[in-house]
């Protein structure tokens, strides 16, 4: 059975982690596209209800469901709310996640386990609940992974491990649903460094404030990828060329990337900039919420050519072909010009040319000049008349 995806304007979308960062940007973008309904889930009830009220002022109806994705019963309540309010849902976005910074020997095992309860088991339970509902009507499951699904980041080992697990689960779920003929698209979103409160929400075992490695990208780029995936079947979408390079180099030259991270990992992920303490450490409980961006200085990148290439592969292929043709033309122009301007070699004159005389009739004939003595023999000479 082919995958069935409705236009966004006809969809009801469930978004976990919707009170800040990528989830909040995604909720706003779905609302700006005129989505039929939004079911927003997060732990911070106050911030979540403010977001739902704001988004409901337009043509989209948004409802808030306070929930902890580490608890399956909370995820089931999200699905029931969507069914009771809108009659069902069409896209389920698993975005909620927590983070811990530090070396593996300094992070308590209970913290590591709880991170997996949110980042991995929250995705697993959310995806299975969504798949059960979407089997009969079609739709999309979107799991927000990371470029760290491909390459572990030093000092974020547990987070990286959870995103590796999310990628493996997403790939396995996709294959099983395809084999069963379920009309469900399954997409993995892989952001690079994104400028969100992620770093301020993280539990921190380092001796300095945390930061994301540069370059940092705008969360609206991730939202754009998620909204696109809700309408178009895609296996994976990566946001940010910088993160993609890290993953690619990790496969081509893993030891080189190990050394690079060992040298730069601490400096690129810490800062002396003071951060909002009201947001610090939401590993076990909700903290200050409601912002898309971090408080760190600097403007995030607003564009990602890599993302555009994935969203519009045919146009990208045509443009690249045109660029290739132009470059080839520029490279060949000097060569062709040199070939056209090369002087022709003169034809060598024969070493001997007989004396020629013009007869005046336009043809060159060899004629005998005055004083010519015939070389005929006596027997070949014309007889002379007698007188």
Per-residue confidence at 206, pLDDT binned at 50, 70, 90? very high
| pLDDT (0 to 100) of residue 383 | 52
Per-residue confidence at 378, pLDDT binned at 50, 70, 90? very low
To the nearest 10°, the Cα dihedral for 208, 210, 214, 220? -160
Look at residue 330 and tell me whether its pLDDT is greater than 60. no
pLDDT tens-digit readout, 78-90: 999 999 999 999 9
Q: What is the mean pLDDT of residues 185-205?
A: 97
| pLDDT (0 to 100) of residue 387 | 44
Per-residue confidence at 194, pLDDT binned at 50, 70, 90? very high
Superfamily of domain 8-323: NAD(P)-binding Rossmann-like Domain (3.40.50.720)
| pLDDT (0 to 100) of residue 242 | 86
Nearby residues of 246 by Cβ (< 8 Å), 6 or more positions away: 147, 151, 257
- Taking the C-alpha atoms of residue 130 and residue 184, their distance in angstroms, rounded to an integer, is 10
Look at residue 356 and tell me whether its pLDDT is greater than 60. no
| pLDDT (0 to 100) of residue 313 | 82
- Taking the C-alpha atoms of residue 64 and residue 39, their distance in angstroms, rounded to an integer, is 6
Selected residue with higher pLDDT from 319 and 42: 42
| pLDDT (0 to 100) of residue 166 | 98
pTM for this predicted structure: 0.82
- Taking the C-alpha atoms of residue 42 and residue 21, their distance in angstroms, rounded to an integer, is 12
Q: What is the mean pLDDT of residues 222-231?
A: 98
Catalytic residue selected from 159, 198, 217, 293: 159
Look at residue 334 and tell me whether its pLDDT is greater than 70. no
- Taking the C-alpha atoms of residue 269 and residue 337, their distance in angstroms, rounded to an integer, is 54
- Taking the C-alpha atoms of residue 117 and residue 85, their distance in angstroms, rounded to an integer, is 28
Kindly tell me the sign of the dihedral angle through the C-alpha atoms of 360, 363, 369, 374.
Answer: negative
List the one residue out of 94, 85, 93, 89 whose CA is nearest residue 12: 89
Known catalytic residue at 159: yes
- Taking the C-alpha atoms of residue 376 and residue 385, their distance in angstroms, rounded to an integer, is 18
Look at residue 316 and tell me whether its pLDDT is greater than 80. no
pLDDT tens-digit readout, 233-249: 999 999 999 888 988 88
Burial code of 350-383, b = ≥16 C-beta within 10 A, e = fewer? eeeeeeeeeeeeeeeeeeeeeeeeeeeeeeeeee
In the chain, domain spans: 8-323
């Amino acid at each position: 059975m082919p995958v069935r995806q409705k236009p966004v304007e006809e969809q009801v979308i469930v978004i976990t982690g919707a009170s800040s960062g990528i989830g909040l940007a995604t909720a706003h973008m779905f609302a700006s596209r005129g989505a039929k309904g939004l079911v927003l889930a997060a732990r911070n009830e106050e911030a979540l209800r403010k977001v739902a009220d704001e988004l409901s002022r337009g043509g989209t109806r948004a409802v808030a469901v306070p929930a902890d994705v580490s608890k399956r019963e909370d995820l089931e309540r999200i699905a029931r709310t969507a069914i009771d309010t809108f009659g069902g849902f069409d896209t389920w976005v698993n975005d909620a996640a927590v983070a811990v910074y530090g070396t593996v020997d300094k992070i308590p095992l209970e913290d590591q386990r709880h991170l997996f309860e949110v980042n991995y088991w929250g995705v697993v339970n959310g995806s299975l609940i969504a798949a059960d509902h979407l089997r009969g009507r079609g739709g999309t499951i979107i799991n927000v992974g990371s470029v760290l699904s491909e390459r572990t980041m030093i000092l974020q080992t547990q987070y990286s491990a959870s995103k590796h697990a999310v990628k493996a689960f997403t790939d396995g779920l996709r294959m099983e649903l395809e084999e069963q003929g379920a009309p469900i698209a399954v997409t993995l979103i892989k952001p690079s460094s994104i400028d969100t409160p992620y770093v301020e929400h993280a539990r921190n075992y380092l001796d300095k404030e945390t930061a994301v490695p540069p370059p940092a990208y705008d969360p609206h780029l991730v939202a754009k990828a998620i909204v696109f995936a809700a309408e178009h079947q895609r296996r994976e979408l990566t946001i940010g060329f910088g993160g993609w390079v890290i993953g690619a180099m990790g496969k081509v030259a893993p030891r080189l990337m190990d050394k690079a991270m060992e040298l730069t990992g601490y400096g690129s992920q810490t800062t002396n900039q003071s951060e909002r303490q009201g947001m610090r450490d939401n590993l076990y409980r909700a903290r200050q919420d409601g912002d898309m961006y971090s408080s760190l200085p600097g403007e995030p990148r607003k564009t990602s050519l890599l993302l555009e290439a994935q969203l519009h592969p045919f146009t990208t292929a045509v443009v690249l072909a045109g660029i290739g043709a132009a470059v080839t033309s520029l490279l060949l122009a000097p060569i062709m010009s040199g070939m056209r301007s090369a002087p022709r070699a003169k034809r060598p004159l024969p070493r001997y040319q007989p004396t020629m005389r013009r007869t005046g009739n336009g043809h060159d004939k060899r004629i005998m000049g005055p004083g010519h003595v015939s070389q005929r023999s006596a027997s070949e000479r014309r007889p002379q008349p007698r007188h």
